[in-house]
Chain A
Protein backbone atom coordinates (compact mmCIF):
# COMPACT_ATOMS: atom_id res chain seq x y z
CA UNK A 1 0.00 0.00 0.00
CA UNK A 2 0.84 3.68 -0.35
CA UNK A 3 0.16 6.38 2.21
CA UNK A 4 -0.34 9.96 1.05
CA UNK A 5 1.63 12.27 3.36
CA UNK A 6 1.09 15.66 1.77
CA UNK A 7 -0.73 16.83 -1.30
CA UNK A 8 -1.48 20.18 -2.89
CA UNK A 9 -4.27 20.46 -5.44
CA UNK A 10 -6.54 17.76 -6.81
CA UNK A 11 -4.33 14.66 -7.12
CA UNK A 12 -6.41 11.61 -8.09
CA UNK A 13 -6.33 7.95 -9.02
CA UNK A 14 -6.73 7.51 -12.77
CA UNK A 15 -6.50 4.75 -15.32
CA UNK A 16 -7.08 5.32 -19.05
CA UNK A 17 -10.77 6.03 -18.46
CA UNK A 18 -14.34 4.84 -18.60
CA UNK A 19 -15.35 4.77 -22.23
CA UNK A 20 -18.75 3.11 -22.57
CA UNK A 21 -21.04 4.83 -20.06
CA UNK A 22 -21.93 7.95 -22.04
CA UNK A 23 -25.57 6.89 -22.34
CA UNK A 24 -25.90 7.24 -18.56
CA UNK A 25 -24.27 10.67 -18.64
CA UNK A 26 -20.94 9.32 -17.33
CA UNK A 27 -17.90 10.87 -18.99
CA UNK A 28 -14.57 9.22 -19.58
CA UNK A 29 -12.39 10.65 -16.79
CA UNK A 30 -8.96 9.02 -17.06
CA UNK A 31 -5.42 10.39 -17.11
CA UNK A 32 -5.06 13.90 -18.59
CA UNK A 33 -1.78 12.63 -20.07
CA UNK A 34 -2.71 9.12 -21.18
CA UNK A 35 0.67 8.59 -22.84
CA UNK A 36 2.56 9.21 -19.60
CA UNK A 37 0.29 6.77 -17.74
CA UNK A 38 0.73 4.12 -20.43
CA UNK A 39 4.51 4.64 -20.47
CA UNK A 40 4.71 4.24 -16.69
CA UNK A 41 2.73 1.02 -16.87
CA UNK A 42 4.86 -0.28 -19.75
CA UNK A 43 8.04 0.42 -17.76
CA UNK A 44 6.61 -1.72 -14.96
CA UNK A 45 5.28 -4.50 -17.25
CA UNK A 46 1.78 -3.68 -15.97
CA UNK A 47 -1.44 -3.79 -17.90
CA UNK A 48 -1.38 -0.41 -19.67
CA UNK A 49 -4.75 0.43 -18.19
CA UNK A 50 -3.53 -0.11 -14.60
CA UNK A 51 -4.40 2.82 -12.34
CA UNK A 52 -1.79 5.30 -11.16
CA UNK A 53 -1.80 8.62 -9.34
CA UNK A 54 -2.13 11.85 -11.30
CA UNK A 55 -0.29 14.63 -9.49
CA UNK A 56 -1.06 18.15 -10.77
CA UNK A 57 0.79 20.19 -8.13
CA UNK A 58 3.86 20.04 -5.93
CA UNK A 59 5.01 19.55 -3.26
CA UNK A 60 3.63 16.03 -3.01
CA UNK A 61 4.80 13.37 -0.60
CA UNK A 62 3.93 9.71 -0.06
CA UNK A 63 5.25 6.68 1.83
CA UNK A 64 5.55 3.20 0.36
CA UNK A 65 4.06 0.63 2.72
CA UNK A 66 6.10 -2.27 1.33
CA UNK A 67 8.85 -3.00 -1.17
CA UNK A 68 7.54 -2.18 -4.61
CA UNK A 69 8.54 -1.12 -8.07
CA UNK A 70 7.31 2.26 -9.21
CA UNK A 71 7.70 4.60 -12.15
CA UNK A 72 7.41 8.37 -12.54
CA UNK A 73 6.37 9.76 -15.90
CA UNK A 74 4.81 12.97 -17.20
CA UNK A 75 5.95 16.28 -15.75
CA UNK A 76 9.48 16.56 -14.38
CA UNK A 77 8.76 17.14 -10.71
CA UNK A 78 12.16 17.03 -8.97
CA UNK A 79 11.49 13.67 -7.29
CA UNK A 80 13.65 12.06 -4.64
CA UNK A 81 13.64 9.27 -2.09
CA UNK A 82 15.68 10.14 0.99
CA UNK A 83 17.89 12.52 -1.01
CA UNK A 84 18.34 10.09 -3.91
CA UNK A 85 17.09 11.88 -7.04
CA UNK A 86 14.66 9.95 -9.25
CA UNK A 87 14.93 11.13 -12.86
CA UNK A 88 11.78 11.79 -14.87
CA UNK A 89 10.39 8.96 -17.01
CA UNK A 90 12.13 6.43 -14.82
CA UNK A 91 11.30 3.26 -12.96
CA UNK A 92 12.91 2.32 -9.71
CA UNK A 93 12.49 0.18 -6.63
CA UNK A 94 11.19 1.48 -3.32
CA UNK A 95 11.68 -0.18 0.07
CA UNK A 96 8.99 -0.37 2.71
CA UNK A 97 8.97 2.95 4.56
CA UNK A 98 10.64 4.94 1.78
CA UNK A 99 9.24 8.46 1.37
CA UNK A 100 8.93 9.79 -2.17
CA UNK A 101 8.88 13.56 -2.51
CA UNK A 102 7.97 15.56 -5.61
CA UNK A 103 9.42 18.97 -4.89
CA UNK A 104 8.66 21.25 -7.84
CA UNK A 105 7.54 20.89 -11.43
CA UNK A 106 10.08 22.28 -13.84
CA UNK A 107 8.63 20.91 -17.10
CA UNK A 108 5.02 19.88 -17.74
CA UNK A 109 1.96 20.15 -15.53
CA UNK A 110 1.08 16.63 -14.34
CA UNK A 111 3.24 13.81 -12.99
CA UNK A 112 2.15 10.20 -12.89
CA UNK A 113 3.16 7.68 -10.26
CA UNK A 114 2.56 4.10 -11.32
CA UNK A 115 3.37 1.05 -9.19
CA UNK A 116 4.07 -2.60 -9.98
CA UNK A 117 0.64 -4.24 -10.33
CA UNK A 118 -1.22 -0.92 -10.23
CA UNK A 119 -3.20 1.03 -7.64
CA UNK A 120 -5.92 -1.41 -6.66
CA UNK A 121 -9.02 0.65 -5.92
CA UNK A 122 -12.30 -1.05 -6.91
CA UNK A 123 -13.49 -1.01 -10.49
CA UNK A 124 -16.60 1.17 -10.79
CA UNK A 125 -18.54 0.97 -14.05
CA UNK A 126 -15.54 -0.70 -15.65
CA UNK A 127 -12.79 1.70 -14.59
CA UNK A 128 -10.70 2.77 -11.58
CA UNK A 129 -10.62 6.41 -12.68
CA UNK A 130 -11.88 9.03 -10.25
CA UNK A 131 -15.04 10.72 -11.58
CA UNK A 132 -15.23 13.87 -9.48
CA UNK A 133 -18.65 15.03 -10.68
CA UNK A 134 -20.27 11.63 -10.09
CA UNK A 135 -18.20 11.09 -6.91
CA UNK A 136 -17.33 7.59 -8.05
CA UNK A 137 -14.25 5.54 -8.89
CA UNK A 138 -10.75 6.24 -7.57
CA UNK A 139 -10.54 6.49 -3.80
CA UNK A 140 -14.11 7.22 -2.61
CA UNK A 141 -14.76 9.22 -5.79
CA UNK A 142 -12.68 12.17 -4.62
CA UNK A 143 -9.26 13.81 -4.79
CA UNK A 144 -6.52 12.44 -2.53
CA UNK A 145 -5.96 13.85 0.96
CA UNK A 146 -3.12 13.49 3.46
CA UNK A 147 -3.56 10.24 5.40
CA UNK A 148 -5.22 8.40 2.51
CA UNK A 149 -4.03 4.83 2.10
CA UNK A 150 -4.14 3.34 -1.38
CA UNK A 151 -4.15 -0.43 -1.83
CA UNK A 152 -1.72 -1.75 -4.43
CA UNK A 153 -2.12 -4.98 -6.38
CA UNK A 154 0.52 -7.68 -6.00
CA UNK A 155 3.04 -7.17 -8.77
CA UNK A 156 3.94 -9.85 -11.28
CA UNK A 157 6.91 -11.54 -9.52
CA UNK A 158 8.71 -12.12 -12.81
CA UNK A 159 8.57 -8.43 -13.74
CA UNK A 160 12.00 -6.84 -13.89
CA UNK A 161 12.47 -4.06 -11.38
CA UNK A 162 15.96 -2.81 -12.24
CA UNK A 163 16.42 0.92 -12.74
CA UNK A 164 15.30 1.90 -16.20
CA UNK A 165 14.37 5.10 -17.97
CA UNK A 166 12.90 6.08 -21.29
CA UNK A 167 12.76 9.04 -23.59
CA UNK A 168 9.96 11.38 -22.45
CA UNK A 169 7.00 11.65 -24.82
CA UNK A 170 7.42 15.42 -25.16
CA UNK A 171 10.85 14.80 -26.67
CA UNK A 172 10.05 11.66 -28.67
CA UNK A 173 6.83 13.17 -30.03
CA UNK A 174 8.06 16.77 -30.35
CA UNK A 175 6.54 18.54 -33.33
CA UNK A 176 9.05 19.75 -35.93
CA UNK A 177 9.79 23.49 -35.56
CA UNK A 178 7.54 23.72 -32.52
CA UNK A 179 7.89 26.98 -30.58
CA UNK A 180 9.29 26.57 -27.09
CA UNK A 181 6.87 28.86 -25.26
CA UNK A 182 3.58 27.82 -26.90
CA UNK A 183 1.95 24.37 -26.95
CA UNK A 184 0.71 23.67 -30.46
CA UNK A 185 -2.15 21.18 -30.66
CA UNK A 186 -3.69 19.78 -33.81
CA UNK A 187 -7.42 19.97 -34.33
CA UNK A 188 -9.99 18.72 -36.80
CA UNK A 189 -12.62 21.36 -37.54
CA UNK A 190 -16.03 20.68 -36.01
CA UNK A 191 -19.72 21.22 -36.83
CA UNK A 192 -20.02 24.99 -36.40
CA UNK A 193 -16.67 26.05 -37.94
CA UNK A 194 -18.43 27.49 -41.01
CA UNK A 195 -20.61 29.71 -38.84
CA UNK A 196 -17.55 31.91 -38.20
CA UNK A 197 -16.36 34.26 -40.92
CA UNK A 198 -12.79 34.31 -42.28
CA UNK A 199 -11.63 36.97 -39.84
CA UNK A 200 -12.96 35.06 -36.81
CA UNK A 201 -11.46 31.80 -38.08
CA UNK A 202 -8.11 33.58 -38.56
CA UNK A 203 -8.23 34.85 -34.99
CA UNK A 204 -8.81 31.29 -33.79
CA UNK A 205 -5.81 29.92 -35.71
CA UNK A 206 -3.38 32.79 -35.20
CA UNK A 207 -3.94 33.57 -31.54
CA UNK A 208 -1.69 32.36 -28.77
CA UNK A 209 -4.39 31.45 -26.28
CA UNK A 210 -3.68 31.99 -22.61
CA UNK A 211 -4.62 29.13 -20.25
CA UNK A 212 -6.67 30.83 -17.51
CA UNK A 213 -6.70 29.82 -13.82
CA UNK A 214 -10.22 28.40 -14.40
CA UNK A 215 -8.65 25.47 -16.25
CA UNK A 216 -8.74 21.99 -14.77
CA UNK A 217 -9.68 18.38 -15.48
CA UNK A 218 -13.15 19.53 -16.62
CA UNK A 219 -11.88 21.89 -19.24
CA UNK A 220 -9.33 24.47 -20.23
CA UNK A 221 -10.81 27.95 -20.41
CA UNK A 222 -8.73 30.11 -22.72
CA UNK A 223 -8.32 33.84 -22.98
CA UNK A 224 -7.61 35.98 -26.02
CA UNK A 225 -9.34 38.12 -28.64
CA UNK A 226 -13.02 37.10 -28.80
CA UNK A 227 -13.96 34.73 -31.65
CA UNK A 228 -17.50 35.70 -32.61
CA UNK A 229 -19.84 33.82 -34.96
CA UNK A 230 -21.56 35.51 -37.91
CA UNK A 231 -24.84 35.21 -35.98
CA UNK A 232 -25.51 33.97 -32.43
CA UNK A 233 -25.64 30.15 -32.28
CA UNK A 234 -27.92 28.33 -29.84
CA UNK A 235 -27.84 24.58 -30.37
CA UNK A 236 -29.75 21.65 -28.98
CA UNK A 237 -27.71 19.62 -26.51
CA UNK A 238 -25.66 16.88 -28.11
CA UNK A 239 -22.86 14.52 -27.17
CA UNK A 240 -19.34 15.93 -26.82
CA UNK A 241 -15.99 14.27 -26.10
CA UNK A 242 -12.70 15.36 -24.51
CA UNK A 243 -10.92 17.65 -26.96
CA UNK A 244 -14.01 19.46 -28.25
CA UNK A 245 -13.32 23.21 -28.44
CA UNK A 246 -16.49 25.16 -27.68
CA UNK A 247 -16.96 28.88 -28.14
CA UNK A 248 -19.45 30.24 -25.59
CA UNK A 249 -21.13 33.57 -26.44
CA UNK A 250 -18.24 35.51 -24.85
CA UNK A 251 -15.97 34.30 -27.67
CA UNK A 252 -13.40 32.69 -25.34
CA UNK A 253 -12.73 29.03 -26.25
CA UNK A 254 -13.15 26.18 -23.79
CA UNK A 255 -11.40 22.88 -24.48
CA UNK A 256 -13.34 20.02 -22.94
CA UNK A 257 -11.04 17.71 -20.99
CA UNK A 258 -11.31 14.33 -19.23
CA UNK A 259 -13.90 15.28 -16.63
CA UNK A 260 -15.98 17.21 -19.17
CA UNK A 261 -19.72 16.90 -19.34
CA UNK A 262 -20.83 14.27 -21.85
CA UNK A 263 -23.01 16.74 -23.73
CA UNK A 264 -23.32 20.43 -24.36
CA UNK A 265 -24.85 23.01 -26.63
CA UNK A 266 -22.27 25.74 -27.13
CA UNK A 267 -21.01 25.88 -30.73
CA UNK A 268 -17.98 23.71 -31.52
CA UNK A 269 -15.32 25.22 -33.73
CA UNK A 270 -12.88 22.28 -33.64
CA UNK A 271 -11.80 19.15 -31.76
CA UNK A 272 -8.27 18.58 -30.47
CA UNK A 273 -7.18 15.21 -31.82
CA UNK A 274 -6.90 12.36 -29.32
CA UNK A 275 -3.19 12.06 -30.13
CA UNK A 276 -2.55 15.60 -28.83
CA UNK A 277 -4.81 15.78 -25.77
CA UNK A 278 -1.88 14.89 -23.50
CA UNK A 279 -0.06 18.01 -24.68
CA UNK A 280 -2.85 20.09 -23.14
CA UNK A 281 -2.72 18.02 -19.96
CA UNK A 282 0.95 19.00 -19.72
CA UNK A 283 0.29 22.72 -20.27
CA UNK A 284 -0.02 24.51 -16.98
CA UNK A 285 -2.05 27.54 -15.89
CA UNK A 286 -0.73 30.70 -17.51
CA UNK A 287 0.70 28.67 -20.39
CA UNK A 288 -0.10 29.38 -24.02
CA UNK A 289 -1.83 27.22 -26.61
CA UNK A 290 -2.10 27.48 -30.37
CA UNK A 291 -4.37 25.46 -32.67
CA UNK A 292 -3.25 23.93 -35.95
CA UNK A 293 -5.73 22.49 -38.43
CA UNK A 294 -5.24 18.97 -39.79
CA UNK A 295 -7.37 16.58 -41.80
CA UNK A 296 -9.08 13.51 -40.40
CA UNK A 297 -6.63 11.10 -42.17
CA UNK A 298 -3.67 13.08 -40.75
CA UNK A 299 -5.25 12.86 -37.29
CA UNK A 300 -5.32 9.07 -37.65
CA UNK A 301 -1.67 9.15 -38.76
CA UNK A 302 -0.81 11.18 -35.65
CA UNK A 303 -2.45 8.47 -33.54
CA UNK A 304 -0.32 5.87 -35.34
CA UNK A 305 2.82 7.85 -34.39
CA UNK A 306 1.81 7.68 -30.73
CA UNK A 307 1.20 3.95 -31.03
CA UNK A 308 4.62 3.49 -32.66
CA UNK A 309 6.32 5.36 -29.80
CA UNK A 310 4.59 3.13 -27.24
CA UNK A 311 5.39 0.01 -29.29
CA UNK A 312 9.11 0.94 -29.29
CA UNK A 313 8.98 1.44 -25.55
CA UNK A 314 7.27 -1.93 -25.06
CA UNK A 315 9.89 -3.71 -27.19
CA UNK A 316 12.80 -2.01 -25.40
CA UNK A 317 11.48 -2.76 -21.94
CA UNK A 318 10.78 -6.36 -22.95
CA UNK A 319 14.31 -6.84 -24.36
CA UNK A 320 15.96 -5.36 -21.34
CA UNK A 321 13.91 -7.55 -19.05
CA UNK A 322 15.15 -10.64 -20.85
CA UNK A 323 18.77 -9.49 -20.82
CA UNK A 324 19.04 -8.63 -17.21
CA UNK A 325 16.67 -10.99 -15.42
CA UNK A 326 17.41 -8.58 -12.63
CA UNK A 327 18.14 -9.84 -9.10
Chain B
Protein backbone atom coordinates (compact mmCIF):
# COMPACT_ATOMS: atom_id res chain seq x y z
CA UNK B 1 0.00 0.00 0.00
CA UNK B 2 1.40 3.39 -1.03
CA UNK B 3 0.66 5.63 1.95
CA UNK B 4 1.04 9.40 1.50
CA UNK B 5 2.80 11.29 4.33
CA UNK B 6 0.94 14.52 3.58
CA UNK B 7 -2.38 15.31 1.87
CA UNK B 8 -2.38 14.71 -1.88
CA UNK B 9 -4.75 16.78 -3.97
CA UNK B 10 -5.13 15.98 -7.66
CA UNK B 11 -7.49 16.75 -10.52
CA UNK B 12 -9.74 14.30 -12.32
CA UNK B 13 -9.83 16.26 -15.57
CA UNK B 14 -12.32 19.11 -15.36
CA UNK B 15 -14.94 16.92 -13.67
CA UNK B 16 -13.69 16.48 -10.12
CA UNK B 17 -10.89 16.94 -7.61
CA UNK B 18 -9.52 14.28 -5.29
CA UNK B 19 -8.26 14.80 -1.74
CA UNK B 20 -6.23 11.95 -0.23
CA UNK B 21 -5.54 12.15 3.48
CA UNK B 22 -2.18 11.21 4.90
CA UNK B 23 -1.82 8.55 7.57
CA UNK B 24 -3.28 5.18 8.31
CA UNK B 25 -6.44 3.48 7.05
CA UNK B 26 -8.46 3.64 10.24
CA UNK B 27 -11.74 4.85 11.66
CA UNK B 28 -10.39 8.07 13.19
CA UNK B 29 -9.04 9.27 9.81
CA UNK B 30 -12.25 8.19 8.13
CA UNK B 31 -14.33 10.18 10.63
CA UNK B 32 -12.36 13.28 9.64
CA UNK B 33 -13.09 12.49 5.98
CA UNK B 34 -16.82 12.29 6.82
CA UNK B 35 -16.56 15.69 8.52
CA UNK B 36 -14.71 17.21 5.55
CA UNK B 37 -17.34 15.76 3.19
CA UNK B 38 -20.15 17.33 5.21
CA UNK B 39 -18.41 20.73 5.02
CA UNK B 40 -17.26 20.56 1.39
CA UNK B 41 -20.67 19.46 0.08
CA UNK B 42 -21.92 22.97 0.92
CA UNK B 43 -19.19 24.84 -0.95
CA UNK B 44 -20.32 26.79 -4.03
CA UNK B 45 -19.83 25.00 -7.37
CA UNK B 46 -19.61 21.56 -5.73
CA UNK B 47 -22.17 19.05 -6.91
CA UNK B 48 -21.40 16.19 -4.57
CA UNK B 49 -18.81 15.29 -1.92
CA UNK B 50 -18.07 11.56 -2.10
CA UNK B 51 -16.00 9.92 0.64
CA UNK B 52 -13.65 7.10 -0.39
CA UNK B 53 -11.23 5.23 1.85
CA UNK B 54 -9.50 8.06 3.77
CA UNK B 55 -10.03 10.26 0.74
CA UNK B 56 -12.71 12.52 -0.69
CA UNK B 57 -13.79 13.30 -4.26
CA UNK B 58 -15.62 16.53 -5.03
CA UNK B 59 -17.49 16.64 -8.33
CA UNK B 60 -17.99 20.02 -9.95
CA UNK B 61 -21.36 21.55 -10.76
CA UNK B 62 -19.29 23.99 -12.82
CA UNK B 63 -15.53 23.50 -13.04
CA UNK B 64 -13.75 26.37 -11.26
CA UNK B 65 -11.65 28.67 -13.49
CA UNK B 66 -8.71 28.10 -11.14
CA UNK B 67 -8.36 25.42 -8.49
CA UNK B 68 -5.94 27.14 -6.05
CA UNK B 69 -8.61 28.32 -3.63
CA UNK B 70 -10.26 24.90 -3.65
CA UNK B 71 -6.92 23.24 -2.92
CA UNK B 72 -6.35 25.53 0.10
CA UNK B 73 -9.92 25.06 1.28
CA UNK B 74 -9.43 21.28 1.23
CA UNK B 75 -6.11 21.47 3.10
CA UNK B 76 -7.50 23.86 5.70
CA UNK B 77 -10.71 21.87 5.94
CA UNK B 78 -8.74 18.67 6.63
CA UNK B 79 -6.53 20.35 9.25
CA UNK B 80 -9.60 21.72 11.03
CA UNK B 81 -11.80 18.65 10.62
CA UNK B 82 -12.94 17.13 13.90
CA UNK B 83 -13.90 13.49 13.59
CA UNK B 84 -17.59 13.06 12.78
CA UNK B 85 -18.77 10.02 14.74
CA UNK B 86 -21.78 8.50 12.96
CA UNK B 87 -23.84 6.10 15.04
CA UNK B 88 -25.13 3.75 12.36
CA UNK B 89 -27.05 0.50 12.54
CA UNK B 90 -25.51 -2.95 12.83
CA UNK B 91 -26.42 -5.82 10.49
CA UNK B 92 -25.38 -9.48 10.48
CA UNK B 93 -24.62 -11.08 7.09
CA UNK B 94 -24.43 -14.90 6.76
CA UNK B 95 -21.58 -15.81 4.39
CA UNK B 96 -20.78 -19.00 2.50
CA UNK B 97 -16.98 -18.99 2.25
CA UNK B 98 -15.25 -20.68 -0.69
CA UNK B 99 -17.19 -22.55 -3.36
CA UNK B 100 -17.47 -21.52 -7.00
CA UNK B 101 -18.09 -17.83 -6.28
CA UNK B 102 -15.51 -17.66 -3.52
CA UNK B 103 -12.86 -19.63 -5.39
CA UNK B 104 -10.15 -17.07 -4.57
CA UNK B 105 -10.23 -18.27 -0.95
CA UNK B 106 -7.49 -20.68 -2.01
CA UNK B 107 -5.56 -17.84 -3.74
CA UNK B 108 -5.61 -15.85 -0.51
CA UNK B 109 -4.48 -18.93 1.42
CA UNK B 110 -1.59 -19.48 -1.01
CA UNK B 111 -0.59 -15.82 -0.90
CA UNK B 112 -0.75 -15.39 2.88
CA UNK B 113 0.44 -18.86 3.84
CA UNK B 114 -2.55 -19.19 6.19
CA UNK B 115 -4.98 -22.11 6.24
CA UNK B 116 -8.49 -21.72 4.80
CA UNK B 117 -9.98 -22.03 8.30
CA UNK B 118 -7.69 -19.27 9.58
CA UNK B 119 -8.65 -16.92 6.75
CA UNK B 120 -12.35 -17.53 7.32
CA UNK B 121 -12.15 -16.99 11.08
CA UNK B 122 -9.91 -13.91 10.70
CA UNK B 123 -12.27 -12.45 8.09
CA UNK B 124 -15.43 -13.12 10.13
CA UNK B 125 -14.01 -11.87 13.44
CA UNK B 126 -14.22 -8.05 13.30
CA UNK B 127 -17.18 -5.73 13.46
CA UNK B 128 -16.65 -3.90 10.16
CA UNK B 129 -17.58 -0.26 9.67
CA UNK B 130 -19.00 1.00 6.36
CA UNK B 131 -16.35 3.61 5.48
CA UNK B 132 -17.79 4.64 2.15
CA UNK B 133 -20.14 3.68 -0.68
CA UNK B 134 -18.83 3.42 -4.21
CA UNK B 135 -17.83 1.20 -7.10
CA UNK B 136 -21.37 0.19 -8.07
CA UNK B 137 -24.90 0.91 -6.75
CA UNK B 138 -25.12 0.09 -3.04
CA UNK B 139 -21.59 -1.27 -2.66
CA UNK B 140 -19.95 -0.66 0.74
CA UNK B 141 -16.25 -0.35 1.43
CA UNK B 142 -15.55 -1.75 4.85
CA UNK B 143 -12.90 -0.79 7.36
CA UNK B 144 -11.56 -3.08 10.03
CA UNK B 145 -10.08 -6.00 8.12
CA UNK B 146 -7.16 -7.78 9.71
CA UNK B 147 -4.06 -6.96 7.60
CA UNK B 148 -2.89 -10.58 7.84
CA UNK B 149 -5.39 -11.50 5.07
CA UNK B 150 -4.56 -8.58 2.76
CA UNK B 151 -3.70 -9.47 -0.86
CA UNK B 152 -2.88 -7.16 -3.79
CA UNK B 153 -5.60 -6.57 -6.37
CA UNK B 154 -5.62 -8.69 -9.52
CA UNK B 155 -3.03 -8.05 -12.22
CA UNK B 156 -5.89 -7.83 -14.70
CA UNK B 157 -9.46 -7.18 -13.51
CA UNK B 158 -12.11 -9.84 -14.09
CA UNK B 159 -14.82 -8.97 -16.61
CA UNK B 160 -17.48 -10.43 -14.32
CA UNK B 161 -17.71 -11.07 -10.61
CA UNK B 162 -20.99 -12.37 -9.12
CA UNK B 163 -23.42 -10.25 -7.07
CA UNK B 164 -23.11 -11.01 -3.35
CA UNK B 165 -19.39 -11.80 -3.67
CA UNK B 166 -17.43 -11.18 -0.48
CA UNK B 167 -14.02 -10.02 -1.68
CA UNK B 168 -10.62 -8.77 -0.59
CA UNK B 169 -8.64 -6.13 -2.51
CA UNK B 170 -5.45 -4.83 -0.92
CA UNK B 171 -6.19 -4.29 2.78
CA UNK B 172 -9.91 -3.74 2.12
CA UNK B 173 -12.91 -6.05 2.04
CA UNK B 174 -16.48 -5.68 0.81
CA UNK B 175 -19.55 -7.35 -0.70
CA UNK B 176 -20.60 -6.88 -4.36
CA UNK B 177 -24.16 -5.60 -4.58
CA UNK B 178 -24.62 -6.79 -8.19
CA UNK B 179 -22.64 -8.69 -10.86
CA UNK B 180 -19.92 -6.79 -12.73
CA UNK B 181 -16.20 -6.37 -13.40
CA UNK B 182 -13.84 -6.49 -10.42
CA UNK B 183 -10.12 -6.43 -9.64
CA UNK B 184 -10.64 -8.03 -6.21
CA UNK B 185 -10.44 -11.63 -4.97
CA UNK B 186 -13.80 -13.22 -4.05
CA UNK B 187 -13.55 -15.51 -1.01
CA UNK B 188 -17.26 -16.15 -0.44
CA UNK B 189 -20.79 -14.95 -1.05
CA UNK B 190 -23.92 -13.74 0.68
CA UNK B 191 -27.47 -12.97 -0.40
CA UNK B 192 -28.80 -9.61 0.78
CA UNK B 193 -30.34 -6.60 -0.98
CA UNK B 194 -27.98 -3.64 -0.80
CA UNK B 195 -29.70 -1.38 -3.29
CA UNK B 196 -33.17 -0.61 -4.61
CA UNK B 197 -33.78 2.56 -6.65
CA UNK B 198 -37.40 2.68 -5.43
CA UNK B 199 -36.35 3.18 -1.82
CA UNK B 200 -36.36 6.74 -0.49
CA UNK B 201 -32.60 6.34 0.02
CA UNK B 202 -31.59 3.86 -2.69
CA UNK B 203 -28.69 2.29 -0.76
CA UNK B 204 -29.45 0.04 2.23
CA UNK B 205 -26.32 1.04 4.13
CA UNK B 206 -24.58 4.34 4.76
CA UNK B 207 -21.18 5.37 6.08
CA UNK B 208 -21.05 4.66 9.82
CA UNK B 209 -23.22 1.52 9.66
CA UNK B 210 -21.57 -1.72 10.79
CA UNK B 211 -21.53 -5.29 9.44
CA UNK B 212 -20.71 -8.57 11.14
CA UNK B 213 -20.10 -11.58 8.86
CA UNK B 214 -21.55 -14.87 10.16
CA UNK B 215 -19.88 -18.06 8.92
CA UNK B 216 -22.79 -19.94 7.34
CA UNK B 217 -20.70 -22.57 5.56
CA UNK B 218 -17.15 -23.14 4.40
CA UNK B 219 -16.77 -24.99 1.09
CA UNK B 220 -13.23 -26.33 0.70
B187 CB-CB contact with A under 8 Å: no
- Residues facing B in A232-263 (CB within 8 A) are 232-244, 248-250, 252, 254, 261-263
- Residue in A closest to B55 when the chains form the complex, CB atoms: A238
Q: Tally A-B pairs: CB < 8 A.
A: 192
A225 contacts B by Cβ under 8 Å: no
Label chain A's interface by main secondary structure.
Answer: loop
Interface 9-residue window, one of A68-76, A109-117, A265-273, A318-326? A265-273
Q: Which of A54-80 contact B (CB under 8 A)?
A: none
**What's the nearest-Cβ distance from chain A to residue B49, in Å?**
8
Q: Which of B6-14, B79-87, B106-114 contacts A (4 or more CB under 8 A)?
A: B6-14
Given A191-B10, A274-B13, A131 contacting B137 (CB threshold 8 A): yes
* Chain A interface (Cβ < 8 Å from any Cβ of B): 19-27, 124-125, 131, 133-136, 187-188, 190-191, 195, 214, 218-219, 231-244, 248-250, 252, 254, 261-266, 268, 271-275, 296-297, 299-300, 303
B198 to chain A, nearest CB (A): 9
Q: Is there an interface contact between A236 and B203, defined as CB atoms closer than 8 Å?
A: no
**Considering the complex, which residues of chain B in the window 158-182 have a beta carbon less than 8 Å from any beta carbon of chain A?**
159, 169-170, 172, 177-181
Counting CB contacts under 8 A, is B78 at the interface?
no
Contact yes or no, B63 A238, CB < 8 A:
no
A180→B132 CA distance, assembly (Å): 44
B152 beta carbon closer than 8 Å to chain A = yes
Contacting residue for B8 out of A191, A233, A261, CB 8 A = A191
The answer for the CA separation of A231 and B55 in the assembled complex, in Å, is 22
Roughly how many angstroms separate A243 CA and B138 CA in the complex, as a whole number? Answer: 22
CA distance A303 to B153 in the complex (A): 35
Residues of the B chain whose Cβ atoms lie less than 8 Å from the Cβ of A135: 178
**B50 to A23, Cβ gap below 8 A?**
yes
Least CB distance from B179 to A in Å reads: 8
Compute how far the CA of A323 lies from the CA of B66 in the bound complex, rounded to whole angstroms. 42
Asked if residues A133 and B155 are in contact (CB atoms below 8 Å), the reply is no
> Does more than half of chain B's interface fall in helix, strand or loop, or is it mixed?
loop
| Distance between Cα atoms of A196 and B154 in the complex (Å) | 20
Of the residues A241, A263, A268, A273, contact of B59 by C-beta under 8 Å: A241
B residues less than 8 Å from A26 (CB atoms): 137, 202
- Starting from the known contacts A19-B47, A248-B156, A249-B155, 20 additional A-B residue pairs (CB-CB under 8 Å) come to A24-B202, A25-B138, A25-B139, A124-B197, A134-B137, A190-B10, A191-B18, A234-B2, A234-B152, A240-B12, A241-B16, A241-B59, A242-B15, A243-B13, A252-B156, A254-B157, A261-B136, A265-B153, A265-B169, A274-B15
Contact A134 B57 (CB under 8 A): no
Q: Tell yes or no: B124 within 8 A of A by CB.
A: no
**Quick one: CB contact mask for B96-123 with A, threshold 8 Å, 1 for yes?**
0000000000000000000000000000
The residue on B at minimum CB distance from A19 is: B47
Please, how many residues of chain B have a CB less than 8 angstroms from a CB on the other chain? 59
Provide the residues of chain B in CB contact with A299, threshold 8 Å.
13-14
Chain A hits for B48, CB < 8 A:
19-20, 22-23
The reply to whether A134 and B134 form a contact with Cβ atoms under 8 Å apart is no
Q: Which residues of B contact A296 (CB under 8 A)?
A: 11, 14, 67
Q: Is the CB of B11 within 8 A of A271?
A: yes
Residues of A within 8 A of B57 (CB): 22, 238-241, 263
Residues of A contacting B49 with CB < 8 Å?
23
30 of the cross-chain contacts (CB-CB < 8 Å) are A21-B202, A22-B48, A22-B59, A23-B51, A23-B133, A25-B177, A124-B197, A133-B137, A135-B178, A188-B13, A190-B11, A218-B181, A219-B181, A233-B2, A235-B170, A237-B52, A237-B135, A238-B20, A239-B52, A239-B55, A241-B16, A241-B57, A250-B155, A250-B156, A265-B153, A271-B12, A273-B13, A274-B13, A274-B15, A300-B65
Cβ–Cβ contact B197 & A262, under 8 A: no
Complex contacts, B47 vs chain A, CB 8 Å: 19-20
Q: Which residues of A contact B54 (CB under 8 A)?
A: 236
Once bound together, how far apart are the Cα atoms of A249 and B67, in whole Å?
31
What does the 1/0 interface line of B40-75 toward A look like (CB < 8 Å)? Answer: 000000011111111111010001011100000000
Chain B nearest Cβ from A34, distance in angstroms: 12
Residues of chain A contacted by B155 (CB below 8 angstroms): 248-250
